[in-house]
């Protein structure tokens, strides 16, 4: 495996890890907010509306991140290859 391929795979793996960590953090944050503010909702129907809104945010954000990761996987060599090219050029210019 070439050095470029190894670097691309490493960058892609790191981006995927960060994206899933963000999704997990979002789910935890929304869950905590729902738990912490549960008693502040004036009625049961208000709680249902807030839960549906929170669930919609979670579902749509999770789906968006999954779509982003699928796109990254499809165009991985081009996108990360371009990033590496510019990173290497910037590093060479600093020397």
Query: What percent of the chain is modeled with pLDDT above 70?
Result: 99
DSSP string for residues in the chain:
--HHHHHHHHHHHHHHHHHHHHHHHHHHHHHHHHHHTGGGSSSHHHHHHHHHHHHHHHHHHHHHHHHHHHHHHHTHHHHHHHHHHHHHHHHHHH-
Q: Is 71 within the bounds of a domain?
A: yes
Residue 64 confidence (pLDDT) above 90: yes
Q: Is 11 a member of any domain?
A: no
Task: Work out how many domains the chain is built from and give that number.
Answer: 1
Residue 33 lies in a domain: yes
Residue 1 has pLDDT above 60, yes or no: no
Range of the domain at 67: 26-89
Render pLDDT for 65-95 as a digit per residue (tens, 0 to 9).
999 999 988 999 898 999 999 999 999 999 8
Q: What is the mean pLDDT of residues 11-30?
A: 96
Mean pLDDT (the chain, rounded) = 93
Q: Does residue 69 belong to any structural domain of this protein? A: yes
């Amino acid at each position: 495996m070439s050095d470029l391929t190894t670097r691309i795979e490493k960058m892609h793996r790191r981006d995927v890890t960060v994206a899933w960590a963000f999704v997990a953090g979002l789910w935890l944050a929304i869950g905590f907010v729902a738990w912490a503010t549960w008693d502040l909702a004036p009625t049961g129907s208000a709680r249902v509306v807030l839960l549906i809104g929170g669930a919609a945010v979670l579902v749509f954000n999770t789906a968006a991140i999954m779509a982003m990761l699928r796109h990254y996987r499809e165009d991985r060599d081009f996108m990360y290859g371009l990033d590496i090219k510019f990173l290497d050029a910037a590093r060479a210019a600093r020397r």
